[in-house]
Amino acid sequence: MKKNSLNDSDFATLFGTSCGAIDPSVRNLIDSLDFRYRIIAGEELEGLLLEVLKRIDLDTQIVGADVRREVWDRGWRENLEDFRSNHLSETSLVPKFIRNGKPLRLFRSYVASEDPAFELNFVKVLRAWMFNEYFGEVSNIYEFGCGTGFNLVALSELYPDKTLFGSDFVSSSVELVNEIAGRKELSLSGFLFDMKNPDPAYRLRPNAGVFTFGALEQLAGSVDQFFNYLLSQSPEICIHVEPDEILYDSSNLYDYLALRFQTKRGYTGGLSRKLYSLEGQKKIRVIKSKRVAFGSLMMEGYNIFAWQPWGN
């Protein structure tokens, strides 16, 4: 079976940039990781398609339901306990939804990876590229919906002199982030913050960068209040790594299945439409809206959206 491997050029295509514009440190990271894969075909593909269809039919999870608050609080508390019992290991901070050894979506095909940690490694590259590309000039960086603090630890390694803030709507996440900060002596603080009901008293510091990473998707479409909050704070740059059903091609079978799954669960959609609407009102300037044709078996959640308030 023919093996393929993602290289600098592939990542440039996925991120909507050029090879020359990718920072050398990110290219070195790509070279250090195993991105070999094969395209799933034949009877294996038929079986996988059947599995996807059954999962769509049987799935009952509703994004944004009240019970999900308890689920997230319990999940991040499990990571907190793992962090404490595994000698502060950063692997204990990897969110449970990043799974090893599963089939993945890449360039509108299903693929099997050589390295079970392919998705995690992809996230590391995407994150490193994004942080280098957008946060070099800001002094304070805020992640909303920060979960385990997984991304903030990576940020602290890249930018040890910047001040970092992580917020989430459940207390176990905030407790974990503050414990990480204390144990690792990071310039990092965690705060409770509900993106559906933003607290205007939570003020961003000047020269701030903001990002979400799979957090807006959990708001079940209730994003207006959060965007109004961000606009009132005038950050220098905002980045979102999120799904968007508008980016799928419903005439493609694999895209159609992802679209069915995503809309059935009720993930926030139409993010690109929202951003361009705000741009039309001259409230923001859209810097990037890019489908990243990579994802887990069921959907693509790593699209890149970047914007600035209109006057910046």
pLDDT in tens, 275-284: 999 999 999 9
For 164-215, the pLDDT digits (tens) are: 999 999 999 999 999 999 999 999 999 999 999 999 999 999 999 999 999 9
pLDDT band at 240 (very low <50, low <70, confident <90, very high): very high
Question: Residues 79, 170: contact at Cβ < 8 Å?
Answer: no
Can you give the chain as a three-state secondary structure string?
A: CCCEECCHHHHHHHHCCCHHHCCHHHHHHHHHCCCEEEECCHHHHHHHHHHHHHHHHHCCCCCCCCHHHHHHHHHHHHHHHHHHHCCCCHHHHCCCCCCCCCCEEECCEEEEECCCCHHHHHHHHHHHHHHHHHCCCCCEEEEECCCCCHHHHHHHHHCCCCEEEEEECCHHHHHHHHHHHHHHCCCEEEEECCCCCCCCCCCCCCCEEEEEECCHHHHCCCCHHHHHHHHHHCCCEEEEEECCHHHCCCCCHHHHHHHHHHHHHCCCCCHHHHHHHHHHCCCEEEEEEECCCEECCCCCCCEEEEEEECCC
Q: For 45-81, b where at least 16 C-beta lie within 10 A, e where not — what string? A: eeebeeebeeebeeeeeebbeeebeeebeebbbebbe
For 45-89, the pLDDT digits (tens) are: 999 999 999 999 999 998 888 888 898 999 999 998 988 887 678
pLDDT band at 1 (very low <50, low <70, confident <90, very high): low
Number of domains, the chain:
1
Query: 124 in the Ramachandran plot: left (φ > 0), alpha (ψ -120 to 50) or beta?
Result: alpha
The answer on pLDDT for 123 being more than 90 is yes
Mean pLDDT of 233-252: 97
pLDDT band at 118 (very low <50, low <70, confident <90, very high): very high
pLDDT score for 312 = 75
Tell me the backbone φ, ψ of residue 106, rounded to 5 degrees: -150, 125
Extract the tokens encoding 181: 């900060």
pTM tops 0.85: yes
pLDDT score for 68 = 87
Mean pLDDT of 218-233: 96
pLDDT score for 84 = 87
pLDDT score for 66 = 82
Residue type (1 letter), 142:
Y
pLDDT score for 87 = 67
Where in the sequence is the domain holding 283, given as residue range(s)? 4-309
Strands 104-106 and 294-295: antiparallel
Here the CATH number for the domain that contains residue 266 is: 3.40.50.150
Q: Report the Cα–Cα distance between both ends of the chain, in Å, rounded.
A: 51
Q: What percent of the chain has pLDDT over 70?
A: 99
Q: 3-state DSSP call for residue 283? A: coil
Task: For the chain, give the mean pLDDT.
Answer: 95
